[in-house]
Chains A and B, each alone.
Chain A
Amino acid sequence: MADRVTGPIDPQSGAEPPPTSWLDERTGSRGIYEAIFLRNIPKVNWLFTLGSATLFVVVNQFITGILLTVYYVPSVQDAYDTVTYIDSSLPLGWLVRGLHHWGSTALVVLVILHMLRIIFHGAYKYPREVTWLTGVVLLLLTFAFGFTGYLLPWDQKAYWATTVGTRILEVVPFFGDWLLRVARGGEELSAVTLSRFFGIHVWILPALMLLFVAVHLFLVVRIGISAPPKKGD
């Protein structure tokens, strides 16, 4: 980057500084931009966009999820009614919820395709093991998001899916009963379960997601991505 302008403007050259130089001089923003968007990458194909596609859907889930909490109320009296209200009374509410609903399915699909690409290319190997491990955590977080979010509409499907889903924990030897009570917040699915799932879905999981996405992306940018393996690799 020979034409890069950084630091105090040279009074000798009469060149007009770019409008972003003010910010760059004080924050180093140009360097950050270059590190992220102008980094060198090997010759790759479209499969390498699966991670970015995943990130895009994650951003969509954050935006639409925040919007849903504006009207959604996680109580057994209100949950179903507020979801119905969002779907049928609010302008474009059906679109906001639809984006969140279908986005969650798309996210699971994309995360798995992204993971398969990494496995088949062997891209998890040295020196990218930590990137891979944070990716595994992100995969589990995605599943946890899906599982907790599924209960929130509090309709028949949600209720029975969670009844069955939590019941699986019971087969764990020795601790099964206890794990089941932890998941449900009691013996049965109840207002406590709904409230807990909501808190986990909108506070705990997003916080962890942000943290791990940040580390994951930092490592991708810092280490760089691996080229597709060649014959004999």
Chain B
Amino acid sequence: MSDPVSRRKFLSRATLAIGGVILVGWAIPAVAYIFGPARAGERLREWRPLGSPAKVDVGTPTLFKTQIERTSGWVTQEEEVSLYVFTEDGQNFTGLSNICTHLGCRVRWVGDEERFFCPCHNATFAKDGRVTSGPPPRPLDTFDVKVEDGQLFVNVEV
């Protein structure tokens, strides 16, 4: 640099620099604070009893419900998790989510037509959760289900 920095220039640059540091000092907590709740937290999983496996009709998906306690922010409340349990032989059980994989509406089993139906965009799924018509991008999500000591259990996020 040919000309030396004048006192005035130095001071105005120093002021700008300090101001910039202070601005960043506000911006970092602001960003962390606003985007914090968007972090995907780690969810615990738990086996929940659903009752006797005899309640499941062989060959027909049967709706089960279980209560979980879920905390969002400063509110903890009971939430209901519903799922269809399905078995062909009374031995091996599959748990199917009743949440449509398209946009999250609830699907229901229509016995006459032997399929799951989503009322939002007329999507249908087969017994095992495969998409048979409509916009859903993938089959119904599954739950791990097991039978232990004559009880049916489902593995859910709590």
Asked if B29 and A82 make an inter-chain contact with CB atoms under 8 angstroms apart, the answer reads no
Q: Is the CB of A95 within 8 A of B29?
A: yes
Q: Which residues of B contact A92 (CB under 8 A)?
A: 28-29, 32-33, 36
Are B73 and A71 in contact (CB-based, < 8 A)?
A: yes
Do B74 and A90 touch (CB < 8 A)?
A: no
Consensus secondary structure, chain B interface: helix
Name the one of A60, A82, A91 contacting B74, with C-beta atoms under 8 angstroms. A82
Known contacts A71-B73, A82-B74: A91-B26 contact under CB 8 Å: no
Q: Contact partner of B30 among A71, A81, A85, A96, CB < 8 A?
A: A96
**Given A81-B74, A82-B74, A84-B74; A90-B36 close (CB under 8 Å):** yes
Interface membership of B37, Cβ < 8 A: yes
Q: Is A204 part of the binding interface, using a Cβ–Cβ cutoff of 8 Å? A: no
Whether, in the assembled complex, B40 has its beta carbon less than 8 Å from a beta carbon of chain A, the answer is no
Take A67-B34, A90-B37, A91-B36 as given contacts and tell me if A78 and B74 are in contact as well, using a CB distance cutoff of 8 Å: yes
Chain A interface main SS type: helix
Inside 8 A of B32's CB, which chain A residues have their CB?
Answer: 90-92
Tell which of A78, A84, A96 touches B33, judged by Cβ atoms closer than 8 Å: A96
Chain B positions within 8 Å of A89 at CB level: 73-74
Q: Are A93 and B33 in touch, CB under 8 angstroms?
A: yes
Instruction: Tell me the complex Cα distance, A70–B29, Å.
Output: 13
In angstroms, Cα B73 to Cα A82, docked, is 8
The contact string, 1 if C-beta is below 8 Å from chain B, for chain A 33-74, is 000000000000000000000000000100110010011000
A96 to B34 Cα, complex, angstroms: 11
Please tell me if the beta carbons of B74 and A63 are within 8 angstroms of each other in the complex: no
| CB within 8 Å of B: which A149-206 residues | none
Q: Is the CB of A85 within 8 A of B73?
A: yes
Contacting pair B36 A85 (CB below 8 A): no
A63 pairs with B36, CB closer than 8 A: no
**Ordered nearest first, which 9 A-B pairs have the shortest CB separation?**
A81-B74, A92-B29, A85-B74, A91-B32, A91-B36, A92-B32, A95-B29, A90-B36, A96-B29
